[in-house]
Structures are given as structure tokens and as C-alpha cells.
């Protein structure tokens, strides 16, 4: 591995889609800084990757401006460059408007929308120092359709899709491409927490491929958009959803 190996920072990388993304990047020769609010989970995740010379654990809350700045600086110091940022950390509250408290609303927006804003703001100048790179924001099919249960979550993801386009236009001048991946349902810890049996059955029946996605299937799309194979793609929202969006079906 040379000093110039491609380097990524993946947020929410202790488990789920973020961990699968970090693992695939490592397998493809990247160096990866894994950032997560769950310090113990992060340590376990990094240990399981068995690549101490190409990984870095960054315990951090993406909604904490000072913490994010310090984490990005630590990654830049350790690896000397940053070629990709994957804004994957997210939280889900599945509730209707009238049941959602202002605190729940604020926290979902802080993690899912302000987090990517802060991470991108800290990372873009570092990427620009070595000619640019790519940002991949993880949105959701919940940002493509309205539903009765996702007032905060769906709004945060729809706003992140727009932030993706804003960033794509603005950061092109720094050599940075920006895209989003909008996952359909994936059976991670998040989905286990918020998908009721009724939601689960509805997804299985209505999604054209009749199943949940796998973490690794999401990682493939994310790593593609983060790397040079996607060199002329910017400002796009790629649904990786088993045909959900194409079918025009409603969220359960």
C-alpha cells in the first residue's frame, strides 16, 4: 500500500450500511477513517476489520461541530489526504406529526441533515488540497415519498437530497463530485427498531424484487459513487431499492 492510497471517511461506520461500506472500501485497497458516536461499537468494528495500518477509529457525534472538525483533522493528519466522505450516520424516529416532540424533530434533523452539512464543510477543504474527491450522502426512499409515520425522518432525508444537489453545484469548482444513495429497506439494527411486522410484510409484498436489500448491496453503490469509476456523475440521487421508486408505490 503506497502513501497515496485512496482515503475515505465513513460516518456511522460501527455497524450496518456504514460498516459494510468501510469493509468494501478496505477490500478494494482504500484506507478508511471510521467515525461513529458509539465508541465501543466502533472499537469492535475496527478490530474486526483487521487492518490497523489502513483504518482509524474516530469516536464522534456528527452533529457536534467541534468534534467533527477535530475528527476530520485527525483523519487528514493520519492519512495525509481525503478522497471521499460518506455521510451515512443517521437515526430514525417513525412517528406521525402530532406525536413527534420538538426534541425528537430537532435531534433527527441535527443528525441526518446538520451532520452531513458539518462533515462536508470540514472535509471539502481537505479534499481540495489534493485535487478533490467525492461525497456520498445516504438519503432514503423515505425522502422520496411522504407517509404518515416519517415526518422528521422523511423530511430530513428529502432535505439531504437537496443538500446533495446544492453541494454538487457548489463544490464542483473544488473538484468534488457529490451524489446520494437512497436505500430501500435494509435489515440493519435501525430497521429492526422501527419496522413493525406490518411494515415488513408490506415492503416484502410491494417492492418489485420482493425482499429487503443487503448491506453489501448498498455498499457496492456507495463505493462506486465514491470512486473514479463515477468520475462524470454528480448531483444524482441513486435509489438502491429493489424497484420501489420505479413502481411508484407508497411507503407502508
Which positions lie near ligand NAD, rule CB under 6 A? 11-12, 14-18, 36-38, 41, 61-63, 88-92, 111, 138, 140, 183, 185-186, 188-191
For the chain, the three-class secondary structure string (H helix, E strand, C coil) is CCCCCCEEEEECCCCHHHHHHHHHHHHCCCEEEEEECCHHHHHHHHHHHCCCCCEEEEECCCCCHHHHHHHHHHHHHHHCCCCEEEECCCCCCCECHHHCCHHHHHHHHHHHHHHHHHHHHHHHHHHHHCCCEEEEEECCHHHCCCCCCEHHHHHHHHHHHHHHHHHHHHHHHHCEEEEEEEECCECCHHHHHHCCHHHHHHHHHHCCCCCCECHHHHHHHHHHHHCHHHCCCCCCEEEECCCHHHHCCCCC
Query: What is the arrangement of strands in the sheet containing 176-183, beginning at the earlier edge strand?
Result: 55-59, 31-36, 7-11, 84-87, 133-138, 176-183, 237-240
Query: 1 or 247, CB closer to ligand NAD?
Result: 247
212: annotated active-site residue:
no
Residue 153 C-beta: closest distance to ligand NAD, Å = 7
Query: 36 or 83, CB closer to ligand NAD?
Result: 36
Residue 250 C-beta: closest distance to ligand NAD, Å = 16
Residue 152 C-beta: closest distance to ligand NAD, Å = 12
Query: 91 or 230, CB closer to ligand NAD?
Result: 91
Residue 242 C-beta: closest distance to ligand NAD, Å = 11
Query: 104 or 128, CB closer to ligand NAD?
Result: 104
* Grid-cell match 485497497, residue found: 29
Residue 4 C-beta: closest distance to ligand NAD, Å = 28
| Active-site residue, from 153, 203, 212, 232 | 153
Query: 92 or 176, CB closer to ligand NAD?
Result: 92
Residues with a known catalytic role:
153
Amino acid at each position: 500500500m503506497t502513501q497515496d492510497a485512496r482515503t475515505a471517511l465513513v460516518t456511522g461506520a460501527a455497524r450496518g450500511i456504514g460498516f459494510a461500506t468501510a469493509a468494501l472500501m478496505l477490500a478494494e485497497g482504500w484506507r478508511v477513517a471510521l467515525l461513529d458516536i458509539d465508541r465501543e461499537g466502533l472499537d469492535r468494528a475496527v478490530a474486526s476489520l483487521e487492518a490497523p495500518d489502513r483504518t482509524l477509529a474516530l469516536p464522534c457525534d456528527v452533529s457536534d461541530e467541534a468534534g467533527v472538525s477535530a475528527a476530520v483533522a485527525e483523519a487528514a493528519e493520519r492519512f495525509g489526504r481525503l478522497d471521499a466522505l460518506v455521510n451515512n450516520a443517521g437515526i430514525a424516529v417513525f412517528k406521525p406529526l402530532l406525536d413527534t416532540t420538538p426534541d425528537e424533530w430537532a435531534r433527527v434533523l441535527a443528525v441526518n441533515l446538520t451532520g452531513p452539512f458539518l462533515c462536508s464543510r470540514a472535509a471539502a477543504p481537505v479534499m481540495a488540497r489534493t485535487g478533490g474527491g467525492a461525497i456520498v450522502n445516504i438519503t432514503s426512499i423515505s425522502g422520496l415519498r411522504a407517509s404518515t409515520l416519517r415526518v422528521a425522518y422523511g423530511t430530513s432525508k428529502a432535505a439531504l437530497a437537496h443538500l446533495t444537489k446544492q453541494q454538487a453545484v457548489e463544490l464542483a469548482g473544488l473538484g468534488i463530485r457529490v451524489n446520494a444513495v437512497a436505500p430501500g429497506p435494509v435489515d440493519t439494527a435501525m430497521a429492526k427498531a422501527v419496522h413493525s411486522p406490518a411494515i415488513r410484510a408490506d415492503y416484502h409484498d410491494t417492492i418489485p424484487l420482493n425482499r429487503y436489500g443487503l448491506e453489501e448491496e448498498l455498499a457496492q453503490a456507495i463505493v462506486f459513487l465514491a470512486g473514479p469509476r463515477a468520475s462524470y456523475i454528480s448531483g444524482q440521487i441513486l435509489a438502491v431499492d429493489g424497484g420501489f421508486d420505479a413502481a411508484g408505490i407508497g411507503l407502508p
